[in-house]
């Protein structure tokens, strides 16, 4: 086993720390926190799922013309949101990039999918909690 990816883990903690800081600073209600936690778990599970399994699921979107149209409209809407809320998009892009880097480093260490998911989840939620604590204390 190669050395553990501490730099990638630090980047993930910092990225999620900034997310926790921003959500805590806005004094968000509980359902925003629930949505954030669900989105984090969805992102982490999507990044740890092998690409062949993702391809199997993506075929479901393109089985009919109606689904393809709905997917195209959704993609156009997401592109509009990306342009309208560019700062939020950049923050999200930093979080996704840090997760991808950590996934690559963990895979290079020879750890499996479940171990990768649990390690990434632990450090992501630790960063989120540290962001909340730091915003509350400072």
**pLDDT score for 48:** 79
Predicted TM-score (pTM) of this structure: 0.78
Tokens 């809320």 correspond to 85
**pLDDT score for 54:** 60
Tokens 């993930």 correspond to 12
Distances (CA, A) of 114 to 42, 84, 107, 128: 14, 36, 11, 21
Confidence of residue 60 (pLDDT cuts 50, 70, 90): low
Nearest of 122, 120, 117 to residue 50 by alpha carbon: 117
Domain residue spans of the chain? 6-137
């Amino acid at each position: 086993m190669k050395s553990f990816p501490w730099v990638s883990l630090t980047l993930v903690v910092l990225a999620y720390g900034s997310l926790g800081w921003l959500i805590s600073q806005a004094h968000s209600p509980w359902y925003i926190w629930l949505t954030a936690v669900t989105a984090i778990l969805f992102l982490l599970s999507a990044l740890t799922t092998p690409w062949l399994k993702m391809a199997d699921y993506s075929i479901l979107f393109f089985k009919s013309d109606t689904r393809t149209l709905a997917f195209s409209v959704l993609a156009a809407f997401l592109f509009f949101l990306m342009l309208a809320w560019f700062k939020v998009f950049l923050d999200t892009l930093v979080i996704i990039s840090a997760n991808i880097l950590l996934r690559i480093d963990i895979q290079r260490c020879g750890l499996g999918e479940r171990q990768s998911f649990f390690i990434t989840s632990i450090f992501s939620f630790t960063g989120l909690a540290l962001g909340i604590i730091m915003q509350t204390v400072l």
